[in-house]
């Protein structure tokens, strides 16, 4: 009995250490060796001129030292010889590192690209730059969460992920942003602020960003990988609805009638009402928003405990699985995040900006977020076996 308690204790401690390590990997606060604050997209320290590189397997942005051979680099705390991603000196300005011995030219994030727009066009170069910044943020988070990320272009044609960044031809058919069988297609004009904002108004959306598109579309990809044909499929149908309902009809109904008037009581966004798949993709995207913004806040020392915002915290009655071993941690995460969002929204208003997080979470939406977290955790636990 004593041994059992001891091993349970060890297991819990290991889980906590794992959570702390993961929170650190998810955080976006980095320091140069000179002490200067660094940001995720930086390639050079503005204070000491050091070359910077992002280590995707560590989730760290670090100052580099020249390596043993020209074009190679060393990172603090690591013995591997590294090299730059070939997209470093391109409009993508990729700052990710890879093993020097890797025969591939591009990093794990850039290897996911199947098609990029023609860079002869100045607008395309500008769009692509913004797209890659958002995509690296997406991919770094997927890796930090322990989710499978492999290129469908080169490494895993069956189950991998890849991107086509396309521009609609003048007068030709519009490129539709979406996901199909591991391919995420993005209309590159989503990177044009004026055009995206116009679209946001036309669609009456409170929020439309490149990162939001990526998180939503990759949610469809992970549905195929983690829900379809797994033990999660039936629980998914009970919570989100039956995805075998006709998508074409759902689209038509949404177009003709709009979302149900009381959608906010059960869904995270009006778009989520369209079909169980969209509800899942929206819930997935919001889970990614919550985890990223909370880890970033914590990385900069912003703690919900120090915030004096009165919120009504969500309790176990809001959960999908109140008895799950991670249920109380999930509630802490969500309630802490809610407090921080109250402040962020007020800060945005102080600057005359739109709300930082323009959504209100209902209990059923929270249950769906917990479901997403359980699927993510399960995938990670299986990857470790």
Q: Which of residues 265-304 bind Zn ion (CB under 5 A)?
A: 278, 281
Span from 48-56, 114-122, 161-169, 305-313 in contact with Zn ion (CB under 5 A)? 48-56
Per-residue DSSP letter, 176: P
Q: What angle do CA 344, 29, 99 make, to 5 degrees?
A: 140
32 versus 82: smaller Cβ distance to Zn ion: 32
54 versus 314: smaller Cβ distance to Zn ion: 54
CA distance 133 to 269: 25
Q: What angle do CA 208, 235, 152 make, to 5 degrees?
A: 55
Span from 12-20, 39-47, 156-164, 249-257 in contact with Zn ion (CB under 5 A)? 39-47
33 versus 265: smaller Cβ distance to Zn ion: 33
What's the min distance (Å) between Cβ of 261 and Zn ion? 22
| Residue 36 interacting with Zn ion (CB under 5 A) | yes
**Edge-to-edge order in the sheet of strand 97-99:** 65-66, 73-74, 82-84, 97-99
- Tell me which of 8, 14, 17, 34 binds Zn ion, using CB under 5 A: 34
| Residue 96 interacting with Zn ion (CB under 5 A) | yes
Span from 22-30, 110-118, 191-199, 246-254 in contact with Zn ion (CB under 5 A)? 110-118
Report CA-CA distances (Å) from 308 to 229, 300, 311, 339, 362: 45, 18, 9, 8, 22
Which bin fits 93, alpha (ψ -120 to 50), beta or left (φ > 0)? Answer: left
| Residue 45 interacting with Zn ion (CB under 5 A) | yes
47 versus 328: smaller Cβ distance to Zn ion: 47
Residue-by-residue DSSP string for 31-49: E-TTS-EE-TT-SB-TTT-
Q: Is 84 strand, coil or helix?
A: strand
Under 8 Å between Cβ of 223 and 240 = no
Helix H or strand E encompassing 327: helix 327-350
281 versus 365: smaller Cβ distance to Zn ion: 281
Q: Which of residues 56-95 bind Zn ion (CB under 5 A)?
A: 85, 87, 94
Neighbouring residues of 300: CB distance < 8 A, sequence distance ≥ 6? 27, 29
Q: How many residues bind Zn ion (CB under 5 A)?
A: 15
Span from 18-26, 36-44, 256-264, 284-292 in contact with Zn ion (CB under 5 A)? 36-44
| Residue 26 interacting with Zn ion (CB under 5 A) | no
What's the min distance (Å) between Cβ of 280 and Zn ion? 9
What's the min distance (Å) between Cβ of 28 and Zn ion? 17
- Tell me which of 6, 10, 47, 246 binds Zn ion, using CB under 5 A: 47
What's the min distance (Å) between Cβ of 124 and Zn ion? 18
Report CA-CA distances (Å) from 319 to 325, 327, 364, 370: 12, 8, 8, 7
CA distance 279 to 271: 7
CA distance 248 to 243: 12
| Residue 112 interacting with Zn ion (CB under 5 A) | no
Provide the mask over 193-232, with x wherever binding to Zn ion is found by CB under 5 A and - wherever it is not.
Answer: ----------------------------------------
- Tell me which of 14, 48, 180, 251 binds Zn ion, using CB under 5 A: 48
CA distance 63 to 76: 8
14 versus 34: smaller Cβ distance to Zn ion: 34
| Residue 245 interacting with Zn ion (CB under 5 A) | no
Q: Which of residues 325-384 bind Zn ion (CB under 5 A)?
A: none
CA distance 146 to 49: 33
- Tell me which of 27, 28, 29, 32 binds Zn ion, using CB under 5 A: 32
List residues binding Zn ion (CB under 5 A): 32, 34, 36, 45, 47-48, 50, 85, 87, 94, 96, 107, 110, 278, 281
């Amino acid at each position: 009995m004593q041994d059992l308690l001891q091993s349970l204790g060890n297991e819990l401690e290991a889980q906590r250490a794992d959570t702390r390590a993961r929170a650190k990997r998810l955080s976006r606060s980095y320091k140069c060796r000179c002490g200067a604050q660094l940001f995720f997209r930086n390639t050079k320290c503005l204070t000491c001129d050091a070359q910077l590189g992002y280590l995707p397997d560590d989730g760290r942005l670090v100052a580099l030292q020249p390596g043993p051979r020209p074009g190679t680099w060393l990172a603090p705390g690591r013995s591997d010889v590294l090299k730059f991603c070939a997209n470093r000196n391109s409009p993508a300005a990729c700052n990710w590192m890879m093993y020097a011995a890797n025969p591939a030219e591009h990093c794990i994030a850039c290897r996911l690209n199947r098609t990029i727009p023609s860079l002869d066009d100045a607008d395309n170069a500008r769009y692509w730059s913004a797209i890659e910044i958002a995509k690296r943020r997406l991919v770094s988070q997927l890796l930090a969460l322990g989710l499978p990320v492999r290129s469908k272009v080169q490494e895993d044609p069956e189950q991998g992920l890849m991107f086509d960044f396309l521009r609609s031809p003048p007068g030709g058919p519009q490129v539709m942003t979406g996901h199909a069988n591991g391919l995420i297609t993005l209309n590159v004009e989503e990177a044009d602020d004026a055009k995206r904002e116009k679209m946001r108004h036309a669609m009456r959306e409170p929020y439309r960003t490149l990162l939001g598109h990526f998180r939503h579309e990759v949610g469809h990809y992970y549905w195929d990988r983690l829900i379809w044909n797994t033990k999660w499929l039936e629980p998914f149908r009970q919570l989100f609805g039956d995805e075998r309902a006709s998508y074409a009809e759902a689209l038509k109904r949404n177009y003709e009638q709009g979302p149900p008037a009381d959608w906010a009581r059960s869904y995270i966004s009006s778009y989520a009402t369209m079909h169980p798949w969209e509800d899942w993709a929206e819930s997935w995207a919001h889970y990614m928003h919550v985890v990223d913004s909370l880890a970033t806040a914590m990385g900069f020392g912003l703690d919900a405990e120090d915030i004096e915002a009165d919120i009504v915290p969500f309790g176990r009655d809001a959960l999908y699985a109140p008895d799950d071993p991670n249920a109380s941690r999930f509630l802490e995460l969500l309630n802490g995040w809610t407090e921080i969002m109250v402040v962020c929204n007020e800060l945005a208003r102080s600057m005359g900006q739109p709300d930082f997080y323009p959504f209100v979470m209902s209990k059923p939406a929270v249950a769906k977020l917990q479901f997403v977290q359980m699927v993510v955790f399960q995938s990670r636990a299986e990857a470790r076996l």
